[in-house]
Chain A
Amino acid sequence: MRYLIINQNQTDIYLRYIDIQSIMEISGQEKKKNTYDAIVVGSGISGGWAAKELTEKGLKVLLVDRGRNIEHVKDYETALKHPWQFRHRGRITHEQRENHPYLSRDYPYSEENESFWFNDADSPYEEKKRFDWYRPNIVGGKSVMWGRQSYRLADLDFEANAKDGIAVDWPIRYKDLASWYDYVEQFAGISGSIDNIEHLPDGKFLPPMKLNCAEEYVKEGIESRYKNRKLLIGRVANLSVAHNGRGQCQNRSLCHRGCPFGAYFSTLSSTLPAAVNTGNLTLRPNSVVSSVIYDEKLDKAIGIKVIDTISKEEIEFYARIIFLNASTLGTTQILLNSISNRFPNGLGNSSGQLGHNLMDHQFRVGAKGTVEGMDDKYYYGRRPTGIYVPRFVNIGSDKRPYQRGFGFQGGASRLNWARGVAELGMGADFKDELTQPGPWQMGLSGFGECLPYYENKVSLNKQKLDKWGIPTLIIDCEFKENENMMRGDMKNEAAEMLEAAGVKNVHTYDNGSFPGMAIHEMGTARMGKDPKTSVLNAYNQMHDVKNVFVTDGSCMTSAACQNPSLTYMALTARACDYAVKEMNKLNL
């Protein structure tokens, strides 16, 4: 990789790379060398896109991330390890659990990618009610460990708040975003099928992954018995064919360790190399942003305050525009901590909405059962996606006693040796049985929309500072009546559909779902038409501070029930296009 990485002890290298001609004239040599056209805070899914788009449009961009630097392929240290090469075979140690009190409550934090995650103890947060906050600690952020499911939102989603009279209306509709979905999909590489579903629009897809025999059987069963329900292969940011110089998926399904073939979309495999190729990018890892600097006379943001996570030195960087992509709660934390006379409650917070309307998806509920008569069938390889059943409730004539809806994810597989843990048995016969593939099991697991509630919120705890002296967050968020009613329906519908499709031994489960667990947190700096009731406008631009853009999950006005990352990508590319046009018009 050719990009420049700077640390304070590398300023000599760093100076050589700065194109002095492009630097805005802010007085003083120190300011000059720390001045860029644009700053992007956070290098995850949306920040990587912002860096790519802005550098490709010719801006000199500083990309900062609180995490340590890791390089694509080279630093995926566990990617090619065999199961037996993990000392704890994937488990985390008691000591790691002690240092990661929040992360260690669920499976994404494991020995297989332990070093990608943030040390909770460095910046603890207060939970009024349980909230699972998954923080990465690497360049690339959660784009390295994400689930890669990629679905478009539709007007069913963009119109929902207005139709239901809930929260505020989205300031955009599907037509505003459609071409940007096209654009990001073609670069990222999303595999999927063309299904002609109005509320789950088709995209510019690579060839779809394939359903296995049991999934084909269940698909046939569901689609023949329900007129408006479909079972699709998951649309996923894994390459079914080589794409844009990246390798085809090898069906290892070890994506969360980082892919040595670059076969799934991440900042590191895709957007960062593109940004680097422009020669316009400066990357600064180990840099946590404490606040955005607002100049009252100019009535705009002029830069950011960064704390070097290693030296703890505070450094200021300046730019004409600032993109905040520090993750939903990360961005919100920075804005709440950016205090001025004009904005005593957080930058761009004249609406009072900043930090409110926190959402996530609810999940971990559904049903499973066995598919019989296929004992002589098996599969080869580990496909890195499951199936998807698009939303079918509260659409057209379907009416439920709750608002919005859910989709199902899941799939079929033959149970492996691990089934033996729950089964009774020990000894020679038991062992032999476990070496054979077990029954085919088919599961459907709901992902449900959560409404935006003003009282689901985060705030700053100025009494409790983190390792770098930054106020920590207090999170107060819960699922409510609408979510609970939907949850029961998710469970029942899953079971009914499986039974209708001929699946046997169907049983339901509800493993409980706390906000944050789906890692789809969003909504704390929402978009809207009215500056009095929203933080961002239709272009993700702050109503109050025009040269600040927020394009991570915090911008979301409602949650829909689809996995949101693809929408963040499209919104980011669109906002970058708008920002640069505004700069060229000298509006910014």
Chain B
Amino acid sequence: MQRREAIEKVLGLLGIAVSGSTLSVIVSSCENPQQGASSLEKYHSVSQIQAKAIAKAADIIIPRTSTPGALDTDTPNFIIMIVNECFSPVEKKRFYAGLSQMNKLFYTETGKYFLENDNEKSLELMLLLEKEAKNYNNTNEEKSEHFFIKKIKELTLLGYFTSEIGASKVLKYAPIPGVFRPCVKREPNEVSYY
């Protein structure tokens, strides 16, 4: 059953909705998730597991502390929407392929998939992946997991800091400043204006 759940997670991250009967076929016939990847483009909707993974990643990037976090601002749904509506089909495919690839890296590294790791371990590995993405020098082809980690971070920051809570409760927001004061004293730890 553990193996079944694991496969479900892999397939879910590949964007494949799995029914019990197809799962058994796949479990018995397919040890290679690459076969699933080729049929990814047929699936436009995001699986529940993909959505969970995106929410978890956003939560790790901007966690709830003494102030609200990404999960308090509907950022996961924002990310899914932006990928759907603003990314090209190629970018969208690469984004979800990258998620799936990151999931595999987690398994290789820890023996557990992304969603099974605790947030502390997940943060550590996501930071490593981000660093690797930044230092990766092959300009010909960006690895999909590098694309994913860059985009999920960018979209998490965008979604969070431009949300009503992020912009006006976490940061200070002056929609109509009225005046411009060119040089004012800043108190220690005073948060910035949106």
Contacts and interface: CB of A to CB of B under 8 A. Distances in A.
Interface string B173-194: 1111111111111101111111
A209 B180 contact: yes
A435 B192 contact: yes
A89 B88 CA distance: 17
A148 B129 CA distance: 43
A226 interface: no
A82 B175 contact: yes
A416 B192 contact: yes
Contacts of B63: 427-428, 431
A435 B174 contact: no
Contact of B65 (A82, A83, A378, A432): A432
A380 interface: yes
B170 A381 contact: no
Interface stretch (B6-14, B41-49, B107-115, B152-160): B152-160
A1 interface: no
Given A381-B177, A435-B67, A82 B164 contact: yes
Nearest to A437: B192
Given A377-B186, A417-B157, A252 B180 contact: no
Interface in B91-138: 123, 126-127, 130-131, 134
B85 interface: yes
A252 B176 contact: yes
A377 B123 contact: no
Contacts of A94: 85-89
B167 A83 contact: yes
Contacts of A73: none
Interface string A421-433: 1001111101110
A89 B174 contact: no
Contacts of A209: 180
Given A426-B61, A431-B65, A83 B162 contact: yes
Contact of B162 (A84, A216, A432): A84
Contacts of A211: 182
A210 B60 CA distance: 41
Contacts of B171: 417, 435
Nearest to B157: A420
A421 B158 CA distance: 9
B15 interface: no
Contacts of B178: 250-251, 381
Nearest to B170: A435
A378 B184 contact: yes
A427 B192 contact: no
Contact of A379 (B131, B173, B184, B190): B184
B82 interface: yes
A382 interface: yes
Given A94-B85, A424-B134, A380 B179 contact: yes
Nearest to B192: A437
B176 A380 contact: no
Given A82-B164, A426-B126, A435-B170, A91 B82 contact: yes
Contact of A431 (B62, B158, B159, B186): B62
B153 A426 contact: yes
Contact of A250 (B61, B134, B161, B177): B177
A432 B69 CA distance: 11
Closest 8 A-B residue pairs measured CB to CB? A381-B177, A381-B180, A437-B192, A213-B183, A378-B186, A380-B181, A210-B182, A83-B162
